[in-house]
Amino acid sequence: MGLLKRLFGGKPDTDTARTATPDAGQDAGRTIRYDPGLVDGLKDDHQELVAMYTALGERVAAGDFHGVDAALQEFKIRLEAHLLTENVRFYVYVEQSMAEDEVNYELIRGFRKEMNSIARAVVEFVRRYRQQPVGPATQAQFIREHGEVGRLLAQRIAREESELYVLYQP
């Protein structure tokens, strides 16, 4: 539930509240404040999402189809909460702070577009296997598609953490 707490502004600790409060030197046009814990929280989300996704694939590969539908739905909910946090709190802040830096601004916009297309692919994957439940007849196809989507997610996470998150600065 940490995803939702962070997204909807759960009670901040004293240090975070003090750091996130704008001072007279900050750009008055910004609508999102810097949150020193945001990137660490997003990285924690990545670990949680990868663990959930990996467990789902292992379950199906082992022929354990019980609960796959619920696991798919839970993964989708967690992913959407993460993406919402990124879109509302991370991207808006970084785009505002990089508005005068055309190169980094375009890099950020490109990442955002790419993630939206990956998110659509993941949601479509989940939708497909919730409509046509995973079982012996669909196991091989699920495992193949799960691997393809998993590779996309892993590559994206690695790029976000190494290239994009470093741009999030006060």
Average pLDDT of every residue of the chain: 86
**How confident is the model at residue 43, as a pLDDT?**
98
pLDDT at 157 over 50: yes
- DSSP string for the chain: -HHHHHHTTPPPPHHHHHHHS--TTS-TT-SS---TTHHHHHHHHHHHHHHHHHHHHHHHHTT--TTHHHHHHHHHHHHHHHHHHIIIIIIHHHHHHTTT-HHHHHHHHHHHHHHHHHHHHHHHHHHHHHHS--STTTHHHHHHHHHHHHHHHHHHHHHIIIIIGGG---
Specify the CATH number for the domain of residue 52.
Answer: 1.20.120
Q: 24 in a domain, yes or no?
A: no
Q: What percent of the chain has pLDDT over 70?
A: 82
Full residue range of the structural domain in which residue 145 is found:
38-167
pLDDT at 71 over 50: yes
Instruction: State pLDDT tens for residues 21-68.
Output: 444 444 556 688 999 999 999 999 999 999 999 999 999 999 999 999
Q: How many domains would you assign to the chain? A: 1
pLDDT at 143 over 80: yes
Q: 129 in a domain, yes or no?
A: yes
Q: 22 in a domain, yes or no?
A: no
Write down the pTM of the prediction.
0.80
**How confident is the model at residue 29, as a pLDDT?**
62
Q: 71 in a domain, yes or no?
A: yes
